[in-house]
């Protein structure tokens, strides 16, 4: 299964950018976006920012992913249900 995750774009340098989700940061390619701007939300898949998102849509998607992760952990019976909320 493949999943794309909303991240906030922090820096832009040519075709590379740095995004953050929660306390994590990673470098991504920006080839697929026209004139990316630090501070905007982007959807990241396989190391590429593939689409812009408005903040509401990004936060709603992160909440869904967080809830799905909690449900999966609960179903596994690990007792762990604490999932980083990406903020």
Residue 77 has what pLDDT?
80
φ, ψ dihedrals at 54, nearest 5°: -80, 160
Residue 83 has what pLDDT?
56
Domain 5-76: state its class.
mainly beta
- Inform me whether the pLDDT recorded for 53 exceeds 60: yes
Residue 2 has what pLDDT?
77
In the three-class reduction of DSSP (H, G, I as helix; E, B as strand; rest coil), residue 72 is classed as helix
Q: How far apart are CA 77 and CA 48, in angstroms?
A: 34
Residue 38 has what pLDDT?
98
For the chain, the distance separating the N- and C-terminal CA atoms, rounded to the nearest angstrom, is: 24
pLDDT digits (tens, 9 = 90+) for 22-41: 899 999 999 999 999 999 99
66: nearest Cα among 81, 76, 53: 81
Residue found by looking up tokens 């190391």 in the block: 47
């Amino acid at each position: 299964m493949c999943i794309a995750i909303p991240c906030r774009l922090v820096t832009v340098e040519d075709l590379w950018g740095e995004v953050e989700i929660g306390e994590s940061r990673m470098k991504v390619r920006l080839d697929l976006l026209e004139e990316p701007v630090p501070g905007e939300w982007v959807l990241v898949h396989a190391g590429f920012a593939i689409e812009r998102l408005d903040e509401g849509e990004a936060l709603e998607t992160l909440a869904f992913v967080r809830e799905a992760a909690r449900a999966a952990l609960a179903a596994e019976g690990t007792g762990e249900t604490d999932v980083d909320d990406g903020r």
